[in-house]
Chains A and B, each alone.
Chain A
Amino acid sequence: MTVDTPHPVAATGRQPTPPLLRVEGLTRHFMVSGTRIDVLHDCTFDVSRGEVVAVVGQSGSGKSTLLNVLGLLDEPSSGAYTFDGVDTTSLREGRRSRLRGDGIGFVFQQFHLLERRSALANVGVPMVLGGVPLLRRRTRARELLEAVGLGHRLHSQPHQLSGGEQQRVALARALSREPALVLADEPTGALDAASSTMIMDQLIDQSRVRDAAVVVVTHDPKVAERADRVVELVEGRTR
């Protein structure tokens, strides 16, 4: 995948590039002690490179569930999900993991940092998996942490950081391999206004500077406002 694909909006006069991801008729249900819980019915939308899309909806409407499918962490019950031209429904585990590691950066609602590992080590993990050599990994992890304002906390472990700081480490980690798709699940939920703005600036930068596609789940109208487009989940359907 090429990083410098022209921005769809800027590419006036040329063929519009195909979207980076597309979901069509996607459903996801869970079985809980014999009862079927339909969380997503019929979601259809696409996201292109350089776009920032906000996903909004009530609590329990299935935003996290949708994001897990987009992040290849979960598989849909039915429907199609195409990522970077690859139909992901028929992928085997190894290929899926690789596609996820190479192409997708995930910022979780609960951060999911590795305990007892320094901020530097946490940011380095995706690069370990990507086979980036040690020295380059170190330098890059340091740069990323400095970019989110944590240059002075490189060796702190998650339990020594505030919620906002942990979220920034998680963001740095998600961006460490310059993924084509950045997914963020309520990245600003636990943060004050200033931190929240900083995180959003970083995410929007990813699309503007690096031409990545960004999908961010949020409750915050201020955050949704800054997105190029808003997808609303109502009763498991996209609007």
Chain B
Amino acid sequence: MLRSLTAGIVLAFAGSRANVARTILSCAGIVVGVGALILVVTAGDLGQRFATAYSEANAGRAATLEVSAFGTVTDLDSFEEDLGRAGALEVSVYNRMESAPPLRADDEVIRNTDIVGVDAALGDIRRINMTRGRWFTEADLDSRAPVLVVNEALADRLGDFGDVQIGTDHWADVRIVGVSQGSTFNANQYSAYLLRAPSSGEIVFGPSWDPEDNSLPQPTYLARVDPSDEAAEEMFSGGVFTDRLLSASWRWGIENEEDIMVYRTDYAAETEELIGYLSLGLIGIAVITLTTGLLGVLNVGLVTVRERRRELATYRALGASRFTLFVAVVMEAVVVAVVAGLIALALSWALVAAGGALIGRFVWLPPDISMAVPPSAALVGLGSAAFVGLLAGIIPAIRALRASVVAGLRE
């Protein structure tokens, strides 16, 4: 048994080396089919990673809820505590300033900067890609000067950050700790995150903020909840999260359900659905291509059956059993198919790298997404190559081995 098996494998290698024409013909079909499959899986995977990264950068990780109050929250500390009690794992204030204070660098005033007051926890809610420096930390809360993270456009404008001020009723020096990568939306617009800290509350919330009991009209928060929590299903209030939040709302001065708006900002669910349809279509294409490849290989296999009958009968006359030759023929097909699969893998890898470099020149790509063939695509490609080889080997093998030795020798 073992002897037959090893003999079959040796004959398989010798066979694929000796019958070059047959080998190359079989290869070509598989290279195209498997190459298409690998590219399709790669495209699907990249699409998914790209969509997720995009969604996480611009709308938050799953599941991010935006919570707004239309009324005055009389005690922000209690309100934040209750957000946590309602199911929020991370909470960050998200105060997009309507008339943001101007910045000044080297005595030049810069207006039209979007400034959003946030907490350090925003870094856990959204995917924020830093190109330089770092995101906010706990230690920044003690800073006497307001702490900022600016986008690339603003960073370019500000120069070396040596002499930057923010202007309210007076100019105050600021500390810039990092530069975040812009998204397609705000690439050219100046924007900055301003850390909410004891010393910067007034800039973050403006004059309507009361530092005495920490009350503020119409605050907006971002909260991340566990996607499997039923609170994540909130859509424009009236859901579990709102109910939980309002259960002790007298502590912070809002009684009406209509005065709280909660909605889910991330599009993880929509992305998933879209990717689902997309991959279904792509898999369809891949299956068709692969089947075409399979038929090509099978055809080569069947055309060469006549030629093979004599060869196989000769082997049998020399003492090879049917089993050995079955192993040899099938192995030969599998070896050829896997080699073809490897060729296809190398070609698609080169194609994806080249394509990635080209696309990267025109489109913004999240920095943590590399344009490469993912392992899953390589595995699927090589797996189906082996499977195609197996199928394409078995049928001709059975047909070639049906003939008796003497009849085979007479072919």
Chain A residues within CB distance 8 Å of chain B: 68, 71, 73-74, 93-94, 97-98, 100-102, 104, 106, 108, 110, 112-117, 121, 125-126, 128-131, 173, 177
Is B324 an interface residue, CB under 8 A from the partner? Answer: yes
On whether the beta carbons of B14 and A97 are closer than 8 Å, the reply is no
| Contact A74 B406, beta carbon cutoff 8 Å | yes
B404 located at the interface, meaning its Cβ lies under 8 Å from any Cβ of chain A in the complex: yes
Q: Are A97 and B320 in contact (CB under 8 A)?
A: yes
Known: A108-B409, A131-B6. A74 touches B404 (CB 8 A): yes
Known pairs A68-B406, A97-B316, A129-B7; A114 contacts B311 (CB<8 A): yes
Q: List 9 tightest A-B contacts by C-beta distance, closest first.
A: A101-B319, A97-B321, A131-B3, A116-B18, A73-B405, A126-B318, A129-B319, A94-B321, A129-B7
From A74, A108, A130, contact of B319 by CB (8 A)? A130
Cβ–Cβ < 8 Å partners of B318 in chain A: 101, 106, 125-126, 129, 173
**Complex Cα distance A116/B6, Å?**
22
Query: What is the total of A-B residue contacts with beta carbons within 8 Å?
Result: 75
* Contact A73 B321, CB 8 Å, known A112-B409, A117-B14, A131-B7: no
Contacts of A94 in B (CB 8 A): 4, 321-323
Decide if B319 touches A102 in the complex (CB within 8 Å). Answer: yes
CA distance A112 to B316 in the complex (A): 12
CB distance from A207 to the nearest CB of B (A): 21
| Cα–Cα distance between A93 and B3 once the two chains are bound (Å) | 16
A-facing residues in B290-315 (Cβ within 8 Å): 310-311, 314-315
B67 within 8 A of A: no
Main SS of the interface on chain B?
Answer: helix
Task: Give the CA-CA distance A113 to B317 in the complex, in Å.
Answer: 11
Interface residue ranges of B134-160 to A (CB < 8 Å): none
| From A94, A113, A129, A131, residue with most partner B Cβ within 10 Å | A129
Interface string of B8-21 (1 = CB under 8 A from A): 00110010001100
Q: Which residue of B lies closest to A177 (CB)?
A: B319
Tell me which of A102, A125, A177 contacts B315 (CB under 8 A): A125
Interface residues of B (CB under 8 A from A): 3-4, 6-7, 10-11, 14, 18-19, 310-311, 314-324, 404-406, 409
Instruction: Kindly state the separation between the CA atoms of A125 and B322 in the bound complex, as whole angstroms.
Output: 15
Cross-interface CB contact of A114 among B6, B7, B314, B321, cutoff 8 Å = B314
**Residue from A125, A128, A173 having most chain B Cβ neighbours under 10 A:** A128
Residues of A contacting B409 in the complex (Cβ-Cβ under 8 angstroms):
73, 108, 110, 112
The distance from the CB of A29 to the nearest CB of chain B, in whole angstroms, is: 14
Whole-angstrom distance between the Cβ of B271 and the nearest chain A Cβ: 55
Residues of A within 8 A of B319 (CB): 97-98, 100-102, 104, 126, 129-130, 177
